C-alpha cells in the first residue's frame, strides 16, 4: 500500500497561491511549492500530472476569491457601482492576485484562452451582466459595451495601484468611476444602435458641441 501523502491537494493549491501572490505566477514551480511546504517537489506530482494542471487550480482559487469580493458589492442597494468599488478594493488588498487574473503570463494568450485578460473580461461580464441589464435597462450588446468602458478604466486604475503610482484617493477613484458609468449609460440609452455601429458618431459629437446641422440619421460611413 503506497504511503499516504503528507499534504492535501488544498494545501498545495494554497501554497502555490501564496507564491503567485507574493512572487508572481511565473514563480509557481513544483520546487517552489515543495520548498514553501518544507518538502521536495514530489507531492505536487502525487495530485497532478503536470504544472499546468496545478496552475489552472491556482487561477481558479484566485478567481473564486475575487468573485467573493464582487458578489459582496452585488448585494448592495446600488449593485453595479458597489461591485466596481469591490473590484478596486480587491486590487488594493490583493494586487498580486489581480495581476495573476489579468496577466498570468508575460505575453497575454490569444482571445480563445481560458485565462488571461480576455477571458477575465468575459468572466466578469457574465458575472455582472444580469445586474447591468436589470439596473440600467440596457440590451445585451449595449450592456457589454457599457461594461467594457468601465472595465477599461478599472484596469487602468488597477495597474496604477499595483505599480504603487496611483495619484488618486479612493474618493476620487469612485467619483471618476461614477462619471464614466453615468456618461456611458446615458449615451447607450439615448442612441440605440451605437454599440453596433449603426449611429454616426461624428454627428453625435456635432450635436454635443452644438452644431445645428447635425443629423443623426446620416449613415455611419459618413462620419
Within the chain, which residues score under 70 in pLDDT?
A: 1-5, 105-115, 211-223
Domain co-membership, 154 together with 206: no
Q: Is residue 141 part of a domain?
A: yes
Calculate the CA dihedral of residues 20, 110, 188, 125 and round it to 10 degrees.
-40
Supply the pLDDT for residue 162.
Answer: 93
Q: Is residue 164 part of a domain?
A: yes
Domain co-membership, 28 together with 48: yes
In angstroms, the CA 25 to CA 67 distance is 19
3 burial class (0-12, 13-18, 19+ CB within 10 angstroms)? exposed
Q: Is residue 47 part of a domain?
A: yes
Supply the pLDDT for residue 223.
Answer: 45
Domain co-membership, 170 together with 223: no
Domain co-membership, 84 together with 154: yes
Q: Is residue 145 part of a domain?
A: yes
Domain co-membership, 107 together with 37: yes
Domain co-membership, 186 together with 202: no
The structural domain count of the chain equals 2
In angstroms, the CA 174 to CA 81 distance is 9
103, HSE (Cβ side, Cα atoms, 13 Å): 10
In angstroms, the CA 20 to CA 96 distance is 7
Nearest to 58 by CA among 96, 5, 2: 96
For residue 138, the enclosing domain spans 9-190
Residue 11: how many CB atoms within 10 A of its CB?
14
**Confidence (pTM):** 0.82
Q: Is residue 165 part of a domain?
A: yes
Domain co-membership, 109 together with 211: no
Supply the pLDDT for residue 219.
Answer: 54
Residues whose CB is less than 8 angstroms from the CB of residue 194 and which lie 6 or more positions away in sequence, other chains included: 142, 145, 187, 188, 201, 204
Supply the pLDDT for residue 111.
Answer: 47
Report the CATH number that the domain containing residue 137 is assigned in CATH: 1.10.357.10
Domain co-membership, 59 together with 42: yes
CB distance 194 to 187 below 8 Å: yes
Domain co-membership, 36 together with 117: yes
Supply the pLDDT for residue 152.
Answer: 92
Domain co-membership, 114 together with 219: no
Domain co-membership, 67 together with 134: yes
Q: Is residue 2 part of a domain?
A: no
pLDDT tens for each residue of 52-82: 999 999 999 999 999 999 999 998 888 888 9
Calculate the CA dihedral of residues 97, 81, 123, 44 and round it to 10 degrees.
20
Amino acid at each position: 500500500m503506497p504511503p499516504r501523502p503528507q499534504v492535501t491537494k488544498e494545501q498545495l493549491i494554497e501554497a502555490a497561491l501564496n507564491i503567485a501572490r507574493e512572487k508572481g505566477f511565473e514563480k509557481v514551480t513544483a520546487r517552489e511549492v515543495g520548498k514553501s511546504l518544507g518538502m521536495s517537489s514530489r507531492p505536487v506530482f502525487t495530485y497532478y500530472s503536470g504544472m499546468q494542471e496545478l496552475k489552472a487550480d491556482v487561477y481558479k482559487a484566485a478567481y473564486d476569491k475575487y468573485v467573493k469580493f464582487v458578489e459582496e458589492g452585488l448585494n448592495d442597494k446600488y449593485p453595479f457601482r458597489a461591485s466596481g468599488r469591490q473590484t478596486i478594493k480587491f486590487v488594493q488588498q490583493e494586487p498580486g492576485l489581480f495581476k495573476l487574473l489579468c496577466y498570468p503570463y508575460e505575453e497575454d494568450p490569444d482571445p480563445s484562452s481560458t485565462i488571461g485578460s480576455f477571458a477575465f473580461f468575459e468572466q466578469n461580464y457574465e458575472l455582472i451582466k444580469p445586474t447591468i441589464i436589470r439596473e440600467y435597462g440596457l440590451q445585451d450588446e449595449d450592456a457589454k459595451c457599457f461594461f467594457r468602458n468601465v472595465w477599461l478604466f478599472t484596469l487602468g486604475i488597477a495597474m496604477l495601484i499595483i505599480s504603487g503610482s496611483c495619484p488618486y484617493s479612493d474618493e476620487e477613484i469612485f467619483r471618476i468611476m461614477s462619471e464614466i458609468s453615468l456618461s456611458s449609460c446615458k449615451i447607450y440609452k439615448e442612441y440605440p444602435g451605437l454599440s453596433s455601429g449603426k449611429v454616426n458618431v461624428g454627428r453625435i459629437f456635432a450635436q454635443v458641441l452644438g452644431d445645428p446641422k447635425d443629423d443623426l440619421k446620416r449613415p455611419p460611413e459618413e462620419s
